[in-house]
Structure 1
Amino acid sequence: MRRLMIADDSAVICKVAKRILTGLDYLVVEASNAGEAMIMCDAELPEVLLVDSGMTGALDLISAVRQMEGGKDVQIHYLMIEKEFKQMMIGKRAGADGFLLKPFDRRTLTEAFAPYAAAA
């Protein structure tokens, strides 16, 4: 079972994502802010990290994870509310591998993450 962390200050987004991704056989942990996510990453890096672009400290979190031992192997997705090229490039420079638009649904998350869950 792959470990996935959702770092988002929206309890609703976390709840929806956790329900869907747990069904895809991920072990899902939640962080409600970047500081909490850093503490959790220091304890154990997830294999997949979803980071809300609107959360204070999001870019610092991504950069810090990339600098940790094993951090280059973490698959990081930047969660955005709209496709904005400038914001996507900022996330990419910080170290994001991919982008997801919020709010997401079961189909979106299944298409993005089911292939990786099965490979674990």
Structure 2
Amino acid sequence: MSGSAGRVLVVDDDAAIRRSLERGLRLSGFRVSVAADGAQALAAVGVEPPDVLVLDVGMPGVSGTEVCRTLRARADDTPVLMLSALDELADRVAGLQAGADDYLVKPFALEELVLRLHALLRRRPPQPSDLIRVGPLRVHPETRQAFWEEDELRLTRREFELLAQLARNAGIVLSREVLLDRVWGYDFEVRSDAVDTFVSYLRRKLEAGGRPRTVHTVRGVGFVLRAPGEGGAGR
């Protein structure tokens, strides 16, 4: 689970409700993303899985009930709290049958929503940490953050993906072809020298302020990430 309280995906077709919940939950310590309909919600879950969903039942198009049913059919056990403007037993039953974990009727107090979300997150088994450590370097793939000791590195999306691949394989030389495949997906518009270009961008940020080199070039082979002071081929 990421952030101080967890990552919440708020899904509601009412823009005012989305804004209000986003602000309130952020102030309550959650990391928040939003979606305006069910289709956006399913896409968002695939890109950056949340720790818990707040899902409106009565959205046009793909309803909240359908979203929940789809997630459960995929064996996705992310906790789901359903929201509804109607305190109807049939709606509650439909939501719970679709796999929702809790149900809240609008209007509601933010404090109650926050308490229910914390309760849902406590029920979920702890997830294994995917933190990657290489010497003073810490890479958090879940939150897409990287730190050198206590200093956060300001990386672009592509720079972060490149660093994450190198960090996951620390001490192993990765060829340009492997990095193109894993970071760019062998995009036909990307040439192999793009790897060298982005390695130079990444080095500039990693080595700022006189920090030692960690990304090394192995001539004729590729690149390797090593903790400062570790031996091996490369420059």
TM-score normalised per structure 1? 0.86
In the alignment, structure 1 residue 92 sits paired with structure 2 residue 120: no
C-alpha distance in structure 1 between counterparts of 2:29 and 2:58, whole Å: 27
Q: Which has the larger radius of gyration?
A: 2
Q: Which of residues 35, 43, 47 is equivalent to 2:47?
A: 43
Of structures 1 and 2, the one scoring higher in RCO (CA 8 A, sep 6+) is 1
More helix by share: 1
C-alpha distance in structure 1 between counterparts of 2:91 and 2:119, whole Å: 27
Shift of 1:64: 1.4
Runs of 4+ in structure 1 off by over 4 angstroms are 114-118
| Cα root mean square deviation, aligned | 2.1
Structure 2 residues not aligned, in runs of 5+: 127-235
* Matched residues, number: 118
Shift of 1:26: 0.8
Q: Which of residues 81, 94, 102 is equivalent to 1:77?
A: 81
In the alignment, structure 1 residue 53 sits paired with structure 2 residue 57: yes
Match of 1:29, SS? strand
Match of 2:69, SS? helix
C-alpha distance in structure 2 between counterparts of 1:84 and 1:117, whole Å: 26
* Deviation per residue, 1:55-86 (Å, 9 max, x gap): 132222111122335x11x1101101122111
Q: Which of residues 59, 65, 69 is equivalent to 1:63?
A: 69
Query: Do 1:25 and 1:117's aligned partners in 2 also have CA atoms closer than 8 Å?
Result: no
Shift of 1:24: 1.6
Structure 1 residues not aligned, in runs of 5+: none
Query: Do 1:14 and 1:30's aligned partners in 2 also have CA atoms closer than 8 Å?
Result: yes
C-alpha distance in structure 2 between counterparts of 1:98 and 1:115, whole Å: 10
Identity %: 26
Match of 1:6, SS? strand
Match of 1:45, SS? coil
